[in-house]
Amino acid sequence: METMEHPIATGGEGAFAAAVPFLFLAAALMAYVVAAVRQRPGMRPWSRWRILSFLLGIALLAGAMLPALMRYAHHDLRGHMLQHLLIGMLAPLGLVLAAPLTLLLRTLPVGGARYVTAVLRSRLFHWLSHPLTAFVLNIGGMYLLYLTPLYMLTLTNPVLHYLVHVHFLAAGYLFVWSIAGPDSAPRRPGMRVRVSVLFISIAAHAFLSKFMYAYNWPRNTPHPLQQLQEAAQLMYYGGDVAELLLVVALFARWYQIGSRRAYALPAQARR
């Protein structure tokens, strides 16, 4: 089965298209570092660990966008699955734990910070950032991609191919943020809801990878059987690693909040 040559492999406009993601990543990293250095007066110095976390997230995205991996992913489902893990599961962890929204609020003028806070308090944002909504967009997007003809369409449509990557990043970031984000969020659901949604997500991700392995999905693709099964295995075990890191981040955040509340109590109440 023939597929359209990946734009990166054609040179010219393809080479320019390949450079665009790196320009965006470099701009995002520069903006984050500048914001960390130039906060409003009176703010505590920004954590170096946050900066390293953001740098790691950007580095993972850059690795996923390397031309060699892009070409490999276009012709081999294992490469595509590796990209999916980097863009949709691992890089969002680094970016979210860097708390960019908190840094933005500490950098903007007071008027701008109030506007951002108003958006965070809106019903639309509350609905969009709810763990259940993020779960549907994240895991539901995977089911839609691999169990419908959508994946095959991405092999012949470069625009759709890039849009899928954008969705992976946005949905993965939203899901990680809704579960374990360190940024303050009004009306964020409690630990029971977040833990429940997280473990449902883990089960749904594992089921999809096992289903793909057992029944050779996605169907009607140029990929041989062994490649399909190895990609499903990579999805299963790589997802386990990313989800374990997310569980650790969630409970570390829970412990941190509990410790702060305990030390905020009077000494007699603590005893």
In a domain, 245, yes or no: yes
Asked whether the beta carbons of 212 and 228 are under 8 A apart, the reply is: yes
Q: Answer yes or no: are the C-beta atoms of 104 and 256 closer than 8 Å.
A: no
* 94: in domain: yes
Nearest-5° angle of CA 250, CA 117, CA 257? Answer: 30
For the stretch 79-98, pLDDT in tens is: 999 999 999 999 999 999 99
Mean pLDDT confidence for 225-242: 96
Over the stretch 146-202, which tens digit does the pLDDT of each residue have?
999 999 999 989 889 999 999 999 999 999 999 999 988 778 888 999 999 999 999
Domain count, the chain: 1
Q: Where are the alpha helices (DSSP H) in 10-99?
A: 13-37, 48-64, 67-75, 77-85, 91-97
Q: Is there a domain that residue 1 lies in?
A: no
pTM over 0.75: yes
In a domain, 256, yes or no: yes
2 lies in a domain?
Answer: no
Give me the residue label for tokens 């506007």.
Answer: 115
Write out pLDDT tens, residues 99-132: 999 999 999 888 888 999 998 888 899 999 999 9
Enclosing domain of residue 77: 7-270
* Cβ-based burial of 243 (10 A; exposed 0-12, middle 13-18, buried ≥19): middle
